[in-house]
Amino acid sequence: MAAATQELSALTLAHATVPGRLTDVSLTLAPGTFAGLVGPNGAGKSTLLQIAAGLLPATGEVTWNDRPLADIAVLERGQMAAWVPQEARFEFGFTVRSVVAQGRFAHGDDDRGVEEALAQFDLTTLASRPVNRLSGGERQRVLLARALATDARLQLWDEPLAPLDPRHALEVLRLGRARTRAGGTLLFSLHDLRVAYCLDVVVVLHEGRLRAAGPPEEVLTPALLHDVFGVRARTAPGLTLELP
């Protein structure tokens, strides 16, 4: 390994374009950023995440840690970044533990950090259950645990909070925050704009184009919310949930 240099960006997209789905999106996330991706249905959030993960060919360039994705072999990609799909279909009844252990594939082992990942996502008691018998939220936690078991610095999650109950959603945000504090970078798509306010960076997509990216209070202005989402923003006293 060469001497470690301070990377400027954990993830960069330069003029990423997929015809009909995403147009000329450029974006840079610094290491340690906890970032959310918002936008109406069909805005291109999943497409962007898949391009960033190197799973969907696009024109333009993607770099991880300032290295062009094209120069990184598939196995090494598996060590550097993890992508979590919006929903998983499990045909076969693998146990929860063995699915989480799949996260270790790129490292050539199948146990390091697996028990910790299971515990973090409250899966220890489910570890021997077949994964195709779980509820949607439980399946989502299995996928997230597998992603964290990879130890990848860059995490790309597609709507991880959607099927989760309030406590597990908060837990996932807490784990994400812990990861980014430790130098990891996390970009995930979400619909709950209230959650977006606790993130470092919010990226707004609209009709396949990047509309804005930056700290939530700067980006999520009433004008933008009206423009992009067609909603009027109003702060009002309401229910606030947090971990005990």
- Alpha-carbon distance of 58 to 181, in angstroms, equals 31
Given candidates 17, 31, 94, 137, which one binds other proteins under the rule CB under 8 A?
Answer: 94
Q: What is the DSSP string of 96-117?
A: HHHHHHGGGGGGT-S-TTHHHH
Residue 184 engages other proteins in binding (rule: CB under 8 A): no
Residue 78 engages other proteins in binding (rule: CB under 8 A): yes
Number of alpha carbons in the 13 Å side-chain half-sphere of residue 158: 18
Q: What is the DSSP string of 38-95?
A: E-STTSSHHHHHHHHTT-S--EEEEEETTEEGGGS-HHHHHHHEEEE-SS----S--B
Given candidates 71, 91, 217, 242, which one binds other proteins under the rule CB under 8 A?
Answer: 91
Residue 231 engages other proteins in binding (rule: CB under 8 A): no
Query: Minimal distance in Å, beta carbon 55 to other proteins?
Result: 5
Cβ-based nearer residue to other proteins, 90 or 212: 90
Binding segment for other proteins (CB under 8 A), chosen from 29-37, 79-87, 175-183, 226-234, is 79-87
> Roughly how many angstroms between the first and final C-alpha of the chain, as a whole number?
43
Query: Minimal distance in Å, beta carbon 59 to other proteins?
Result: 18
x/- map, 142-171, other proteins, by CB under 8 A:
-x--x---x---------------------
Given candidates 2, 89, 182, 241, which one binds other proteins under the rule CB under 8 A?
Answer: 89
Query: Minimal distance in Å, beta carbon 49 to other proteins?
Result: 10
Query: Minimal distance in Å, beta carbon 116 to other proteins?
Result: 18
Burial 212-234 (b: 16+ CB within 10 A, else e): bbeebeebbeeebbeebbeeeee
- Alpha-carbon distance of 241 to 161, in angstroms, equals 14
Binding segment for other proteins (CB under 8 A), chosen from 37-45, 93-101, 168-176, 216-224, is 93-101
Residue 81 engages other proteins in binding (rule: CB under 8 A): yes
Residues 47-66 that bind other proteins (CB under 8 A): 50, 53-55
- Alpha-carbon distance of 9 to 86, in angstroms, equals 25
Six-digit token string for 64: 């991880």
- Alpha-carbon distance of 44 to 23, in angstroms, equals 9
Count of residues making up the chain: 244
Q: Where does this chain bind other proteins (CB under 8 A)?
A: 50, 53-55, 74-79, 81-83, 85, 88-95, 98-99, 102-103, 105-106, 110, 143, 146, 150
